[in-house]
Chain A
Amino acid sequence: MASLHPAVLPHDGPKASGLTGRWQALVPFRPDSSVLPGFTLAMGLTLTALSLIVLIPLTALALKAGDLGFSGLWALLTTPRVLAALKLSFALSFAAALVNLLFGVLIAWVLVRYDFIGRKWVDAAIDLPFALPTAVAGIALSALYAPNGWIGAVLARYGIKIGYTPTGIWVALVFIGIPFVVRMVQPVLQEIESEIEEAAALLGASRFQTAMRVLLPAIAPAAFTGFTLAFARAVGEYGSVIFIAGNVPMVSEIAPLLIVIKLEQYDYSGAAGVGLLMLAGSFAIILLANAGLALWGRRHGHA
């Protein structure tokens, strides 16, 4: 396959670009000597669209937040209401992603390893949180968990309140995070050869030992990646949360809602500042997770 050919490193002879030697390979977004036409057009279109739709607007966010300066950003972060919202968003997202991790691995296991009636459709339904508009999920969950809702009414009898409390936010975040871990773990679990488990059994491992010491390490990186994705998604989630949250400042007000509120008050810099803090938090999670995965991979010999 030509796409697997290593990149060109010209040795001698002139090149059309006028650049020679290894430096040719280091010019960004310039291809090797492939015969396929259309690179300039395709790359030009991609970079233009990417700049106009994604990069320039995101730069605007950084610029606007920059109006505040470092001291302003720090002051914003330490505002009790902002701090409470960020803490709430990140803590509940983490808690929800943990549930997604546990049940995600379990669901993936059941879908890959067991046959039961309707398995195919259960499998298809896992992606519902991706497909269902978040506002729809939001009002549905809110109708279920409100004190007079199907589930809320039952729980209310035992004095448990979910709707319009932080617990409600957590429920919504669990809902939207369901597919991530399942979809990461499923293919890995399918790839594990049956010989691996047979070998473990022949070496005397019990079924539980095989699961814990052979299978779990094999799916751990994928499960962790899914956990990180669910976490990051939950931090930014808005639509499914605001209906069930109650939105009481300092108690059940999430960070994205704070941005909306600041925008409605025409506090553009404040909104941009909260946005920047959220983005910084999310990217820190993703970077840390990638670093952790790389470390884990190196230690387990598949870096």
Chain B
Amino acid sequence: MAMHEASPLPKDQRQDSPLVRRLLIAVVLAFLALFLLAPLLVIVVEALARGADAFWLALQDADVLASIRLTLLVAAIVLPINAVIGIAAAWAVAKYRFFGKSLLLTLIDLPFSVSPVIAGLIYVLLFGAQGMFGGWLQGHQISIVFALPAIVLATLFVTFPFVARELIPHMQALGNVDEEAALTLGATGWQTFVRVTLPNIKWSLLYGLLLCNARAMGEFGAVAVVSGKIRGLTTTMPLAVEILYNEYMSVAAFSVAAVLATLALVTLVVKSVLEWRYADDLAANHRPDRTRA
């Protein structure tokens, strides 16, 4: 599609003049450098401000290690639950027609339009010391708020839509034909799901889980409200960043931040690779443009 400037052929009507093109590209790159690249750079520079040794030492602090373990634990609990719920929701929504479908879709998407702080708040209202079930829980010595259960619940809330959102458009596009074929060939419902549906949706499931994981490990607002920030016990990595930063332990704060930023970059790379390589196996809205010159 790109045409040589000296070409005697008529000018491509979609091509803007080189001056406009260069100007617009420059403006965009400058904007992105300021807002995306600079923050990333500052994290690296601040983390290494006292050298690589200080960086490694900061990460070996007992509380930091505990926060890494907690973050991994929360993700390990949240991901499988979200996978099951997401697949179930997508199966119900994409494979059948029923009255109330658009209401259900709106409800599934609801957590995306709720502030993370509110996501944390609602669990405190339910399970906090003065919450609706607070007295009962205290009487039975069950702790939910300021403990792992509330961190998991708040994380489940903010990540609730990710998997279903990825799977629904993909499964709708695939239709029911493969499943019908398997059923006419004598497969049971479970055989059909495991041997036909799951292989068809595996890349979009992975894509959804990838985004879900990034959010689960990085969630701050919701978790901050319910965790109580007990050091070494209920502090996730993003909370550790906050605590260290507020205590003016800049290198330590930025070291943990650098680990989280690396996670974000890895997520972006894997996500892009999935989009490039498995475009056909992802929901239509992620297919990169392949018609482009």
Q: Which residues of A contact B (CB under 8 A)?
A: 1-8, 25-32, 34-39, 41-43, 45-46, 49-50, 53-58, 60-61, 63-64, 103, 106-107, 109-116, 120, 122-141, 143-144, 149-151, 174-175, 178, 187, 190, 194, 197-198, 200-201, 207, 210, 232, 235-239, 243, 256-257, 259-260, 263, 266, 268, 271-272, 275, 278-279, 282-283, 286
Contacts and interface: CB of A to CB of B under 8 A. Distances in A.
A256 B221 contact: yes
Contacts of A131: 214, 218, 264-265, 267-268, 271
| Interface SS of chain B | helix
A46 B85 contact: yes
A125 B35 CA distance: 11
B77 interface: no
Given A36-B176, A133-B264, A268 B128 contact: yes
Contact of A239 (B116, B276, B285): B116
B125 A54 contact: no
A259 B121 contact: yes
Given A36-B183, A124-B269, A107 B32 contact: yes
A99 to B, nearest CB: 9
Interface in B26-80: 27-29, 31-32, 34-36, 38-40, 42-43, 46
Contacts of A53: 153, 156-157, 160
Contacts of B242: 135, 139, 243
Contacts of A135: 218, 220, 238-239, 241-242, 257, 260
A268 B113 contact: no
B222 to A, nearest CB: 9
B15 to A, nearest CB: 9
A265 to B, nearest CB: 12
B281 to A, nearest CB: 17
Interface stretch (B99-107, B135-143, B200-208): B99-107
A25 B107 CA distance: 21
Given A110-B24, A272-B125, A32 B96 contact: yes
Nearest to B293: A115
Contacts of B126: 56-57, 60
Interface residues of B, number: 108
Given A60-B126, A61-B118, 5 more contacts: A53-B153, A57-B157, A178-B35, A238-B116, A275-B122
B16 interface: yes
A131 B217 CA distance: 10
Contact of B157 (A45, A54, A187): A54
B219 A133 contact: yes
Contacts of B265: 131
Q: Which of B27, B40, B122, B269 is packed against the most chain A CB atoms within 10 Å?
A: B122
Nearest to B193: A38
A260 B224 contact: yes
A268 B133 CA distance: 14
Q: Which of A29, A106, A135, A198 is packed against the most chain B CB atoms within 10 Å?
A: A135
B204 to A, nearest CB: 16
Nearest to A41: B88
A29 to B, nearest CB: 5
Contacts of B291: 190
Nearest to A272: B125
Contacts of B16: 113, 207
B279 interface: no
Contacts of A36: 95-96, 176, 179-180, 183, 189, 192
A136 B126 CA distance: 29
